[in-house]
Amino acid sequence: MTSQYRVNYHLRAHKRDHLVEFIKGMLLTPFVLHAQPQPQPPPLLHDDHAAEPRMRRPSDERAQEANAQRYAEIFASIEELIDEHRALHADGIAAYSRLAKLVPSIGTFFTPLPLRQAFGRVNLRERISARKHVPPSFNDIRRILNIAQVIAIAPQLRMVTFDGDMTLYADGQNFEHDNALTDLLVSLLRRRIAVAIVTAAGYGDDAARYEMRLSGLLKGFARAGLRADEVARFFVLGGECNFLFGCSASYRL
């Protein structure tokens, strides 16, 4: 059954992110070029002096590699614009950056964004540069920006926060025991990274009701055998930041 949250989300008008829209526009050129059909040469080249016929690499494969390079160069250029904007912001003249002129509503970047590296990672899975019918979407670009942010902060990361509904589990549901995210959250705690779930669910100071919603995760901590000092880095902040719970060595809030 569709939740009221989903219905309201799709009916509501949303603001456009001007930086994402700018990047989408930049990426249209390689997409349009790659969308055009490539002439296909014969698969074999016969050489009278060769013992066996030589295979020619398909032109489509070469075109995909070339297009991936075009995308990567665009992200590298945007990365350079961001670095310049950050440098000028440090000098108090961010309005004079090229990025500020191209995207007047641009805000402050607190870290570098290795966009070329992030694109390479996302492209291996999503095959963005190989598409011929679906251009890079808002979600594609947001994912690349998010990965770039994670890469940038990873060396100094000390805490990660998550929403509950629609992030760690379905809207209005509980964190189930077979949730694939359990092992990932356990690995963060073992790496001395604090993990906090920040939720608007308001049960006052009734820890048992939060435990019920997160029972699958807490049982996962027990199965993994997390030490007391490791589970002590797990927190739940509920009731719109009004109630803070820690986790005890008995895996209870």
Q: How far apart are CA 248 and CA 241, in angstroms?
A: 20
Q: How far apart are CA 98 and CA 78, in angstroms?
A: 10
83 is catalytic: no
Catalytic site residue from 48, 140, 165, 229: 165
Cα angle at 159 between 155 and 165, to 5 degrees? 130
Instruction: Sort residue 239 into left (φ over 0), alpha (ψ -120 to 50) or beta.
Output: left
Please check whether residue 219 is in contact with residue 177, taking contact to mean a CB–CB distance below 8 angstroms.
yes
Catalytic site residue from 47, 163, 205, 206: 163
- Containing 121, the helix (H) or strand (E) segment is helix 115-126
Q: How far apart are CA 224 and CA 242, in angstroms?
A: 30
**How remote is the C-alpha of 209 from its chain's centroid?**
30
163 is catalytic: yes
Please check whether residue 115 is in contact with residue 79, taking contact to mean a CB–CB distance below 8 angstroms.
yes
Instruction: Give me the residue label for tokens 């991936």.
Output: 68
Please check whether residue 186 is in contact with residue 221, taking contact to mean a CB–CB distance below 8 angstroms.
yes
Closest by Cα among 62, 102, 63, 61 to 85 = 102
Catalytic positions: 163, 165
